[in-house]
Amino acid sequence: MKPGFLDPYDPDYAPVPKDHSDEKGPALPTYLEEGIRQGRRCMRNQLAKIPDDEEVLVPHQALKPSPARIKKFLSDNDLVVTPTDKNLGIAVSKRTWLRDQTLKMLNNANDYQCITDEQCHRILSETRTEILNLVGLASKVTSLKQIGLHKYLSSKLPSGEKEDWILPQFYGIPKIHKNPPGFRPIVPCHSALMNPCAKFVSKELKPLILAAPTVIHGSKDLAIKLSKLKILPRHRWYFVSGDVVAFYPNIPLDSCLQIVSYEWLKYKMWPEPFFDTDTPEGYELKSYADLFRRAIRVGNSKLISQYNGKKWLQLRGLAMGVADSPDLANLYGCHFEEKAEVLKDKRFAFYGRYIDDILSIIYASSEEEALKIAQEKISYDGCEITWQVSSQHMQFLDMFLFRGIGDTIQWRPYRKANNHLERVPWTSFHPLDVKRGTFLGEMSRLAVLCSEISSYTEALKDLVILYVRRGYPNNLVKSWINNYAKDKWIKRFNDNSAHENAAPMQILVLKTEFNPVWNYFNAKEVGDSMITYWRYYMEHMDRRDFVTRDFSRPIPMPESWRDVEEYAVLPEFSKEVRGPQGEFLEILDTNKLFGDKAKLITSRKRTTNLFNLTSLWKKAIFTELEHRIPVEANIVRPVRNLPQADVNSQGTPAEARPTAGQSGVAQQADPVLDYRLTRGNLHQRSPSPNKPFFG
């Protein structure tokens, strides 16, 4: 057995697995392998029943856009396809507009500084040294070392002697709901060397965020709170909302880090031995606290990004794209709200904040008085707040709040300006259950966004019209409404976390992709065939019966897991049995592992689509622009070679597998542009290369 196999496991700190698709997996005990073979036999029986000609529910001709024509149109017209702020759909923007907006932000001397390669190298080297020191601190805390935090913190450092730094690519997305359109800067730091520090801090701060009474966690949380709100009778009240202007960049970083560190220590409520480093407990707690205070600074300071071949150092505030930025901003606001005792102020019937959006309901005699109360009570050092007040209605998040009959607070869905209402069209090749799941998800969302069933009914009518216009059969959509609308309304405020105390269901996940063949796959049958066999085997072990009477279900001799190096069994899942010679053996007890509830489900990965290609074209077009500018100015500058890819006559990539190690530099007038999906060119808004947001 390998050392550390029985240590606690935290998937958040697990290293990114390498691609071992060509390697043979470790051998399991024979009875576990036999159970998997039972499932494979069941699956083959199902696949054998697939008809040669699949009958489509509603025959249609799928749209087949030509990627080559779209790419040519975008390139010829200097256009770039991007997502938009607030997830309002895609935007097609002039390349020059995106470039000008980006440079306008970067050239703000208060926010960014252009640095040389030498300065960049020095800062990154210092950051690496600080991270290695954090690794040492994490190794001193037993609970953190057991879950592998010390390895995780260094997971983004360059390997070997070559300092191949990965710098985030600065970019922005349009704010199409603004007039004129605005621009939101983003620095995607999922691969930056300091991001593991920020993720550690974010995970440590999550309990504080959940416990903060002034934080709104989303539309559902707000709807639940408003549904429980009791307005005092015969009192005049007003909606007052606030928007913190440029919250992230205007937060004083040093002050924020000190405040959050203090709040974290206060939340931990560590005992007196924390200050006594002579005791083992006190030494570990001191190391834990030092680790957090230093990690929060490493993860959010000296942030370097790149744009147009130049490197930029962020000078102030928090950056969008760093893992813990929302947590830091939330707790920074909570500090001043707690200090002002806003929840104890009897003039506030309600107060809540969603990051930089504030909502309050204030008792006052006039709009002017309500606005004055909010302005005097709520403020954050270094930040400016713009306020709105109304006696009748207010928009907040995706909800439209209004005064109902009898001075009650009601709400219904709100659609921001220029929302494209993009939906998966019926002509797409998404499986039917995926389309149905998307529709049902919207029904659940609308139920939460409506305070009265009449508003919910009207919203569902609009939803049906929207999907019918996207090509969905009218009868099919209405059947979904008839079957699920009532249930969605009744359960709209259900707390999903309430099921955590119930008996857990063990889930086995079979990873698949979008393919019609999986429509004929019955995951329950396959899962039952495996689990039933393992229970059958355990019954034989309890009776010490090693003779099989059903040759389709053999009974292999038991093997102790302690004799196998590749795996280990946690004590609570271990079972002691007697072997054929009377010897005692420890095996994995599948009855304890799966219990009475176990289920096999399939997860499906989407295939490459048009939005993947547009994200590649965006990078390719800007790479071409970056090269064109110095050429037009008679400046010769090295251009990074992009990895080659075979592209067929339709302009689609011949393969979509990541390639590594292609970082050569060449003097080329027209670099060959690559449209293959790699870890480096997936859409930059994604939290990681494995989880693209867009498409």
Reported as a single tens digit per residue, the pLDDT across 365-394 is: 999 999 999 999 999 999 999 999 999 999
**Are the C-beta atoms of residues 357 and 241 closer than 8 Å to each other?**
yes
| Predicted pLDDT of residue 562 | 63
CA-to-CA distance for 523 and 509, rounded, in angstroms?
10
d(CA 647, CA 134): 45
**Residues in the chain, how many?**
695
**pLDDT score, position 693:** 30
Distance CA 29, CA 259 (A): 53
Structure tokens at 162: 């070559």
Range with the lowest mean pLDDT among 290-299, 565-574, 584-593, 617-626? 617-626
pLDDT at residue 639, as a whole number: 33
Sign of CA dihedral 93, 96, 102, 108: negative
Which sequence spans correspond to the domains of the chain? 11-17+25-53+514-605, 432-500
Is pLDDT at 662 greater than 50 in this prediction? no
Residue 178 predicted with pLDDT over 90: no
Whole-number pLDDT of residue 681: 31
Each residue's pLDDT tens digit, 29-73? 888 889 999 999 999 999 888 877 655 554 455 566 788 888 889
Is pLDDT above 60 for 689?
A: no
Pick the range with the lowest mean pLDDT from 102-106, 388-392, 423-427, 531-535. 423-427
Which residue stretches of 274-322 are H helix? 280-298
Q: Is 435:425 a contact under the CB 8 Å cutoff?
A: no
Burial class (CB in 10 A: 0-12, 13-18, 19+), 624: middle
Quote the pLDDT of residue 462: 95
Tokens standing for residue 425 = 């069209």
Q: In 3-state terms, what secondary structure has residue 348?
A: strand
Side-chain-side CA neighbours of 674 within 13 Å: the count stands at: 19
Signed CA dihedral, 532, 533, 538, 540: sign only: positive
Q: What is the DSSP letter of 428?
A: S
Please give the pLDDT value at position 182: 87
pLDDT of residue 598: 80
Question: What is the pLDDT confidence band of residue 254, given thresholds at 50, 70 and 90?
Answer: very high
Residue with tokens 């009958």: 55
Residue with tokens 């040492």: 136
Instruction: Provide long-range contacts, Cβ within 8 A and 24+ apart, for 618-621.
Output: 618/80, 618/81, 618/82, 619/681, 620/673, 620/674, 620/675, 621/74, 621/75, 621/78, 621/80, 621/95
* Of 377 and 632, more confident: 377
pTM here is 0.80
Q: What is the mean pLDDT of residues 434-440?
A: 93
Q: In this structure, which long-range contacts are made by residues 580-586, counting pairs with CB atoms below 8 Å and at least 24 apart in sequence?
A: 580/544, 580/546, 585/558, 585/559, 585/560, 586/560, 586/561, 586/562
Q: Which two three-digit tokens encode residue 207?
A: 């309990």
Asked whether the beta carbons of 615 and 682 are under 8 A apart, the reply is yes
Query: Which pLDDT score, from 0 to 100, does residue 420 have?
Result: 83
Q: What is the pLDDT of residue 545?
A: 86
Nearest to 669 by CA among 617, 630, 643: 630
Kindly tell me the burial class for residue 161, based on how many C-beta atoms sit within 10 Å of its own C-beta (0-12, 13-18, 19 or more). Answer: exposed
Mean pLDDT of the chain: 81
